[in-house]
Amino acid sequence: MDMLKDSIGKLYLKYLLPSMFSALVTTIYSFVDTIAIGQGVGADGAAACAIIYPILGIASLFGFLCGIGGSVRFAKARGEGKQEKANAFYTASLVLVIVLTIIVWPMTAVFKTQIFTWFGASKALMPLVLEYGDWIIWTFPAFILSAYFTCMVRCDGAPNVVMAAVAAGGIFNVFGDWFLVFPMNMGMTGAAIATAGGTVIQLMVLCAFLFTKKSHLKIVKPWEPSKAVYKAVTAGFSASVLEFAFIILTCILNNQIMRYGGETALSVFGVILTCSGMFQHIYTGVGQAMQPIATTNYGAGKRKRIAYLRRISEWTVIVMGICFMLTGILFPTQLIHFFVDATPEVLRAAPTIMRIYFLSFPCMGINIWATFYFQSIMRTRTSAVLTILRGIVISSIFLYLLPIWLGINGVWWAMVLTEGIVTGITCMCIFYANRKMSRK
């Protein structure tokens, strides 16, 4: 694969198909967990899932901070024909992710109860949350390192290896969820073991690739270590901000939902969060498929190739977003039945909640895709600002103000308005960035 000479369309498909497969299999972790827990434990189990998801976001935050940052700098250096410099960035980012893991892991274990309370856990839900969350915390390094190596191996020109790793972990997770939750009757513990085990297997496959001849990722003496770490962190900052914003946003949502709608609304949100997570992984897959191609061509100064890649990848997420939106609008009750053994209260609340919330998904796709696009053309500050506006500033304002007048429905409309406003700002930023890039 020649990133600078091969057809952009063919390159995009070569990266997109494995990336989509990986995204879909990755979503199986939460997807199957929610089904197994919802059917095996009940609506309270689905509500507990909504509390637990942010802890996985913390792992992704540090994994993507180092992984996307390191991979972007790695790809740019390779595009410039500087393989030794590329590996120096890889080495610096690897050391950084290991150090951060050593710092963060004990903190999550010591303060787990406080963390889950902050995430919105009530006294009634806390036993279920801890039953699942303990297993995630015990294997926390695997979640961080898996996110990191997924970025690096894909950027090394091996998207099929990432696909195989995710598939191996996903297969274990699906089988484990079924076997441990139902025949073994292990409930939340069984689902947690399946998720943790699948992630460990995924990490093992990714690490095995590093020792093959096909891998260009080599540990070398860092090129100006502090400078390399700084550049990697700045490149990955907006991606980590995306995860940080997800954590903050989910916490605010959980607490506002419990305040205005109670555990019934939170049970429905647990299903929505699973669907939203799947869609976000797919949008992220499009961005990650585009990123190494765009960054390498940016390093080589090939602006026309980047413009064509931008158009086809942007339309990919737009079409996907419309399809996702229609699913929730047309089939809300069927989605609830698919995931949980729903109570009459949940069935009454679900259609309105899902039809409002699913309106946000087309704009969400554009906003997530744009994060990766701006990273690819080294406009990391723009990417970070848009992410903060979307995930923290605008969303928080609406989440606290709208429910005062609209009650629980104000929570759902807050997300729709946030995504729409940020999309408008994003389109203006893309127009400005493209005009500036075309002048170079």
pLDDT digits over 55-87, tens only? 888 998 899 888 888 888 887 788 777 788 888
pLDDT digits over 238-278, tens only? 667 777 888 888 889 989 999 999 888 988 998 898 888 88
User: DSSP string of 397-426?
Assistant: HHHHHHHHHHTHHHHHHHHHHHHHHHHHHH
Average predicted confidence (pLDDT) for the chain? 88
pLDDT exceeds 70 at position 438: no
Number of residues written out for the chain: 440
Q: pLDDT-based confidence at 406, cuts 50/70/90?
A: very high
Task: Measure Cα distances from 39 to 191, 263, 335, 343 in Å.
Answer: 12, 17, 13, 11
pTM over 0.75: yes
User: DSSP string of 176-207?
Assistant: HHHHHHTTS--HHHHHHHHHHHHHHHHHHHHH
pLDDT digits over 184-215, tens only? 889 899 999 999 999 999 999 999 999 888 88
pLDDT exceeds 80 at position 236: no
pLDDT digits over 300-323, tens only? 888 888 889 999 999 999 999 999
Q: pLDDT-based confidence at 425, cuts 50/70/90?
A: very high
C-alpha distance across the termini of the chain, in Å: 27
pLDDT of amino acid 19: 81
- CA 433/CA 374 separation, integer angstroms: 9
Task: Measure Cα distances from 381 to 237, 263, 434 in Å.
Answer: 9, 38, 15
pLDDT exceeds 80 at position 369: yes
pLDDT of amino acid 218: 87
pLDDT of amino acid 15: 87
pLDDT of amino acid 24: 76
pLDDT top residue among 141 and 380: 141
pLDDT of amino acid 26: 67
pLDDT of amino acid 144: 95
pLDDT top residue among 122 and 223: 122
